[in-house]
Amino acid sequence: MSCARTAVLLCFLLPPAALAQTMVPKLDQDGRKGDVARLAKQKAAERFAILDKDRDGKLSRPEVEQDSAYLTERFPQRDLNSDGYLDWEEFVGHKRWEK
């Protein structure tokens, strides 16, 4: 599996608490890790945009249910503030990458 795919999968497979550690590379990091982080962020942003049907900058459960069985199943765990939406940080599971 390529490093880019691995990084993207990390965003969706690991629980948010696990990603809050230093496992997620910084975007300004040099070398391969930085390249992977930038590519993973780009792919995550593209996916977020596809899911955000009403373009309000957050994902409602109905928006997620249309296209992502994985996020639908894990919506309660990912919605950390229990507001009924996934914001960017809840979607990617960490706070290292600003939207």
Q: What is the pLDDT of residues 4-45, one digit of tens each?
A: 555 555 555 555 555 445 578 888 889 999 999 999 999 999
Q: What's the DSSP call for residue 89? A: H
Confidence of residue 91 (pLDDT cuts 50, 70, 90): very high
Q: What is the pLDDT of residues 57-86, one digit of tens each?
A: 999 999 999 999 999 999 999 999 999 999
Handedness of CA 42, 85, 16, 72 (dihedral sign): negative
Domain boundaries 3-92, corresponding CATH code? 1.10.238
pLDDT at 87: 97
Domain-wise residue ranges, the chain: 3-92
pLDDT at 20: 47
Q: Measured between alpha carbons, how far is residue 26 from residues 13, 33, 36 in Å?
A: 19, 8, 10
